[in-house]
Structure 1
Amino acid sequence: MDQSQEPEDYYPDRACSLLSDPALYINRELSWIRFNQHVLDEAKDPTHPLLERIKFLAIFANNLDEFFMVRVSGLHHQLAEGVLKLPPDGLTTMEQLERINNDLVPLLKEQTRVWSEEIIPALQKAGIIIHSRLTLDGTKRKQLRRFFFREIFPVLTPLAFDKSHPFPFISNLALNLAIILKRPGSQEELFARIKIPNTLFPRLIELPADPDGKDISGRQEFIFLEDLIADNLDLLFPGMEIVAAYPFRVTRDADIEIEEDEADDLLSAVEQSISKRWIGTPVRIEIAEDMMPAIVDMMGAKLAKYPHMFYRVRGPVGLADLFCMMNIDRPDLKDTPYAPSVPDRLERDPDIFHAIKQRDIILFHPYESFQPVIKFLEAAAHDPDVLAIKMTLYRTGTNSPIVQALLDAREHGKAVSVLVELKARFDEENNIGWARALERAGAHVVFGIMGLKVHAKLCLVVRKEKSGIVRYVHMSSGNYNAVTAKIYTDIGLFTTNEEIASDVSHLFNVLTGYSQFSAYHHLLVAPGGIKKGITRLIEQEIERQKEHGDGRIIFKLNALQDAGIIRTLYRASQEGVKIHLQVRGICCLRPGIEGISDNITVTTIVGRFLEHTRIYYFHNGGDPLVLMGSSDLMPRNLKRRIEVLYPVLDPGIRDEIINTILPVHLHDTVKTRILQADGSYVRISKESGERMQAQEWLIENRGVWNRNLVKETVR
Structure 2
Amino acid sequence: MKENKTPSPEIFPAELSWLSFNNCVLQEAADKSNPLYERIKFLAIHSSNLDEFYRVKVNKLLLKSDSKKDLLKKINAEIIRQQLAFGKIWKNEILKELQNNGIVYYENQTIETLHLEEIESYFKTTILSYIQLVYLSEDSGKEYFLNNRQLYLLIKLKEGNTERYCYVNIPSDKLSRYISLSKIGDENFIISLDTIIKKCLPYIFTGQEILGVYSIKINRDENYFIDDETSGNLVVKIKKKIEERKTGSSTRFLYDLNMPPEMVDFCKKVFQIEENEMVEGGTHHNFFDLFKFPNPKYPALQNEPYSPLKYPYFENKKSVFENIEESNHLLHFPYHSYHYVLQLFNEAAVNKDIVDIKVTLYRISSQSLIANALISAAKNGKKVTVFVEVKARFDENNNLFWANEMKKAGITIMYSLPNLKVHAKAALFTYKRKSKTKTYAYLSTGNFNESTAGIYSDFGFFTSDTKYTDDLKQVFKFLKTKEKKSSINHLWVAGFNLKENILQQIDLEIENKKNGRDASIFIKANGLDEKEIIEKLVEANNAGVEIVLIIRGIYTLLPGIKGYSENIKIYRIVDMFLEHSRIYKFHNNGDEKIYLASADMLSRNLSRRIEIAFPIFDEALKKQLNKIIELQVEDNTKKRTINRKGENIIENKEAALPKRSQIEIYNFLKNNGSIS
TM-score bracket for the superposition, by shorter chain length: over 0.9
- Alignment pair present for 1:200 and 2:169: no
1:96 partner letter: L
> Bigger shift: 304-313 or 251-260?
304-313
Kindly provide the amino acid, as one letter, of the partner of residue 38 in structure 2.
E
CA contact (8 A) 1:656 1:705 kept: no
SS in 2 for 1:390: strand
Q: Identify the residue that residue 88 of structure 1 maps to in structure 2.
A: none
**Which one of the candidate residues 49, 61, 73 is aligned to 1:77?**
61
| Structure 2 residue aligned with 1:98 | 73
Within 2, Cα distance between the matches of 1:167 and 1:267? 31
Change over 3 Å in CA distance of 1:349–1:556 after alignment to 2: farther
- CA–CA distance in structure 1, aligned partners of residues 495 and 638 of structure 2: 34
The one-letter code of the counterpart of 1:504 is L
Residue 83 of structure 2: which of 102, 108, 128 is its match?
A: 108
Counterpart-to-counterpart distance in 2, 1:151 and 1:79: 40
Q: Deviations over 1:300-347 (max 9, x none)?
A: 234465433222123421101111116656100111222211221111
Q: What is the rounded CA distance, in whole Å, between the counterparts of 1:475 and 1:694 in structure 2? A: 24
What root-mean-square deviation, in Å, do the aligned CA atoms of Structure 1 and Structure 2 show? 1.9
| Aligned counterpart, 1:698 | 665
Residue number among 119, 122, 129 corresponding to 2:94 in the alignment: 119
- Is the contact between residue 6 and residue 539 of structure 2 (CA under 8 Å) also seen in structure 1? no
Question: Any unmatched runs of 5+ in structure 1?
Answer: 1-11, 85-91, 210-214
Structure 1 residues 145-544: aligned runs within 5 Å: 145-162=120-137, 163-164=139-140, 166-184=142-160, 186=161, 188-207=162-181, 209=182, 215=183, 217-261=185-229, 264-303=232-271, 306-325=274-293, 328=296, 330-465=298-433, 468-517=436-485, 519-544=487-512
- Is the contact between residue 214 and residue 283 of structure 2 (CA under 8 Å) also seen in structure 1? no
Is contact 1:545-1:575 (8 Å) kept?
Answer: yes
Contact persistence 2:230–2:418 (CA under 8 A)? no
Change (3 A) 1:646 1:682: same
Q: Distance in 2 between matches of 1:441 and 1:154?
A: 39
For 1:189, give the aligned amino acid: E
> Quick one: structure 1 residues 115 and 433, their matched pair in 2 at CA, closer, same or farther if it must change by over 3 Å?
same
| 3-state DSSP of counterpart to 2:564 | coil
Partner of 2:47: 61
Partner AA of 2:604 in structure 1? R
What residue number does 2:27 align with?
A: 41
Distance change >3 Å, CA 557–CA 39, structure 1 → 2? same
Task: State yes or no: 1:632 paired with 2:606.
Answer: no
Equivalence for 1:652:
620
| Alpha-carbon distance between aligned partners in 2 of 1:707 and 1:15, rounded to the nearest angstrom | 45
Alignment-derived partner of residue 7 in structure 1: none
CA distance in 2, matches of 1:518, 1:579: 34
The structure 2 residue matched to 1:673, chosen from 636, 640, 648, is: 640
Corresponding position of 1:3 = none
Q: Distance in 2 between matches of 1:489 and 1:140?
A: 43
Give the distance between the partners of 1:150 and 1:353, measured in 2 at CA: 56
Q: SS of 1:442's equivalent?
A: coil
Q: How far, CA to CA, are the matches of 1:378 and 1:194 in structure 2?
A: 48
Whole-Å separation in 2 of the counterparts to 1:17 and 1:130: 57
Cα distance change, pair 102–155 in 1 and its aligned pair in 2 (3 A): same
Determine the structure 2 residue equivalent to 1:18: 7
Tell me how far apart the structure 1 counterparts of residues 575 and 373 of structure 2 sit (CA, whole Å). Answer: 33
CA contact (8 A) 2:158 2:164 kept: yes
The verdict on how the C-alpha distance between 1:562 and 1:500 changes in structure 2, with shifts beyond 3 A counting, is same
Matched, 1:51 2:26: no
- Assess if the C-alpha contact under 8 Å between 2:7 and 2:564 holds in 1: no
> Is the CA contact (8 Å cut-off) linking 1:263 and 1:269 kept in structure 2?
no
Change (3 A) 1:467 1:536: farther
What is the CA–CA distance in structure 2 between the aligned matches of 1:241 and 1:561, rounded to whole Å?
55
Query: Shift of the alpha carbon at 1:666?
Result: 0.8
| 2:144 aligned partner, one-letter code | P
> What residue number does 2:515 align with?
547
| Structure 1 residue 618 displacement after superposition | 0.2
Say if 1:697 and 1:326 are closer, same or farther in 2 by CA, change over 3 A.
farther
- CA displacement, residues 326-382 of structure 1 (integer Å, 9 cap, x when unaligned): 665610011122221122111124311111111100010001111111101111111
User: Could you tell me how far apart the structure 1 residues matched to 2:358 and 2:424 are?
Assistant: 13
SS in 2 for 1:668: coil
| Counterpart contact for 1:366–1:490, Cα < 8 Å | yes
Q: Distance in 1 between matches of 2:62 and 2:216?
A: 27
Q: Give the superposition deviation at 1:139.
A: 3.9
Q: 1:491-531 deviations in whole A, cap 9, x for unaligned?
A: 11111111210110010011122321351111111135221
Counterpart selection for 2:18 from 32, 38, 42: 32
Q: Which residue of 2 aligns with 1:622?
A: 590
In structure 2, C-alpha distance between the alignment counterparts of 1:354 and 1:224, rounded to whole Å:
54
CA contact (8 A) 1:247 1:287 kept: yes
DSSP-derived class of the 2:7 partner: helix
Question: In 2 relative to 1, CA 117–349 (structure 1 residues): closer, same or farther, beyond 3 Å?
Answer: same
Query: Does structure 2 retain, via aligned residues, the 8 Å contact 1:357–1:496?
Result: yes
1:267 is paired with a residue whose SS is: helix
Separation in structure 2 between the aligned mates of residue 70 and residue 256 of structure 1, nearest angstrom = 9
Residue matched to 2:116: 141
The alpha carbon displacement at 1:13 in A equals: 7.0
Report if aligned partners of 1:349, 1:355 keep a CA contact under 8 Å in 2: no
The Cα offsets for residues 461-482 of structure 1, whole Å up to 9 and x where unpaired, read as 0111467211100000100111
C-alpha contact 2:144 2:271 (8 A) present in aligned 1: no
Q: Distance in 2 between matches of 1:304 and 1:550?
A: 61
Consecutive unaligned residues of structure 2, counting only runs of 5 or more, are none
Structure 2 CA distance, aligned partners of 1:13 and 1:233?
74
Is the 1:177–1:194 Cα contact (8 Å) retained in structure 2? yes
User: 1:18 is matched by which residue type in structure 2?
Assistant: P
Report if the CA contact (8 A) 1:181-1:244 is conserved.
yes
Give 1:206's aligned amino acid.
S
Superposition TM-score, scaled by structure 2 size: 0.96
Counterpart Cα distance in 2 of 1:51 and 1:298 = 39
Say if 1:55 and 1:326, in contact at 8 Å, map to a contact too.
no
Letter paired with 2:660: Q
Between 369-378 and 696-705, the greater mean CA deviation after superposition: 696-705
Q: How far has the Cα of 1:648 moved from its partner?
A: 0.7
C-alpha spacing 1:689/1:466, structure 2 compared with 1 (3 Å): farther
